[in-house]
Structures are given as structure tokens and as C-alpha cells.
Chains A and B, each alone.
Chain A
């Protein structure tokens, strides 16, 4: 038997088609984390890309900066129900980073400084909707929001956009990351409200 709190509005029904089902709009940029915030020196930063055949390529920060990057706007949808529209970023498209890799990888496991992981089908990284970003709102990405660089995959719930990215592991078989397989959906499409396993 629920006790209703008079006047408590909480969740606003989205009338804006840019807001997926079950989400509410925020002007804030909430900071949520599974662990302490790493502070990585750019001189020490690396992005490790490993392919299915064992081939490994390690990018330094300077090498990342040498790659063509683009500025873009994205809407963010967190599984904890907040949505932030129109955020501005600069980053390198993941397909540029994975340019030289084999084609028989079907999945990727993303690794972060601090141990966080998340998994994605390879197409979600290669078809123009995923970047490794290093600037937010015109300034260098702050550690608390995932800097110096994070993954951004705006068409999936934000837990897939791994902060403090330091590795992309290409795989033939899918392997579930930190939250997937612990109650959360393996894919995470906000438009089909795929929050939890079984949704």
C-alpha cells in the first residue's frame, strides 16, 4: 500500500520527442561514478587497442591529438533517468581509431583507468556514432567527467560511454562488462528502454 506525498511531482512526462521514455530533463550535469576519480598525466596516458588476432596498438596522447577530430552535439541519457540535451564535445571518431583493424571482430570491451569495463557490439562503435572525446563545452574534459578522454556513444545509455578510457579490446565473442550481467541490459538502447537485464 503506497503512501502518496501530496504535491511531489518528481518525474515529468516527456513531451519533447528528444527525451526517451522514462527519462526526465536536467540542466545539470550529474556526476556519478563507480569508483575514485583517476588523475592521469597526459605524458603517461595511453589508449591500448587490441585486435582479435592478438595485434596490439598503443596510442599516446600526442598521437591521439594528431588524429582528425570533430566538434559535435549530443544528447545524453543516463539509466538513472536523467537526460541532458545538446551537450557539446570534441573527439576522434572511433572508426578513425580502429581504422587498421581486422573485420572479424563482432564485439568490443572498453577498459578504463580504475578498472571499469563496458561491452558493445562493434557496429555501435564503427557506424559514425561513437567518439573518444577530450573536450566538453569548448574546454578540456575535466577528470570528474571522464577526462582526459572518455568514450561517448550517445545512442546508448550513458554507462556505455566509459569515462577515463584506456583500452579498446576487440573480440569475436561478447563478454559482459561491469554493470552488464549484474542486473543491467547487455545492449542498453534508451529508445526501447533497455535498462535492466530481461527488458
Chain B
């Protein structure tokens, strides 16, 4: 069985909504995949958006590294598939 990624965009697509929670631009955050250990910037991960929520998947193994849902009064963030996020905050 094969999988095709034609619907994926990249992590840049979730940067705006994530900025509401993180208060900074996290596109350069280094995200470690809990499944395979690969470390990629958020911008390079695969993002599936437009459905009920956004799903961020590891660019190497496609496992879910994060999920984001925006409801009228809340933002839900699930980071279970990521072992770590590294976000630089000094210039």
C-alpha cells in the first residue's frame, strides 16, 4: 500500500494559528518526531489543513507530530507525537 502526499502543504500553514498560542513565529522551531526521532523545522513538516483541524506530520515518517483545532472560544493543541520542540527566542 502506498501513500501520496498531494494534499499536504508545509508547516508554514499552521504558523499563523500557532502564533496565537506561542506569541512568536515558530516556523523555525525544531520539532523532534516521537516515532522515528527525526528533527525537522516546523516549516518543513507536512501539514494537512482545511479539515476540522490541522494535522502536522513528520516529514520523514509521516507520523502525527501535532494537531491543532480552533473552536469559537478556544484553541486545542496536541503535541503528543513530538518528543520535543526547540524554539529560539533570542536574536
Contacts and interface: CB of A to CB of B under 8 A. Distances in A.
- A contacts B: CB pair < 8 Å: yes
Contacts of A115: 64
Interface in B1-21: 1-8
B7 A182 contact: no
Interface stretch (B22-30, B36-44, B71-79, B82-90): B71-79
Interface stretch (A9-17, A33-41, A92-100, A128-136): A33-41
A82 to B, nearest CB: 11
Contacts of B8: 36
Interface residues of B, number: 25
Contacts of B7: 31-33, 36-37, 144
Interface string A138-159: 0000011000000000000001
Contacts of B48: 32-35
The size class of the interface chain A forms with chain B is 20 to 34
Nearest to A31: B7
Interface string A104-144: 00000000011100000000000000000000000000011
B1 A179 contact: no
Contacts of A44: 1
Interface in B30-88: 46, 48, 50-53, 55, 57, 62, 64, 67, 69, 71-72, 74, 76, 78
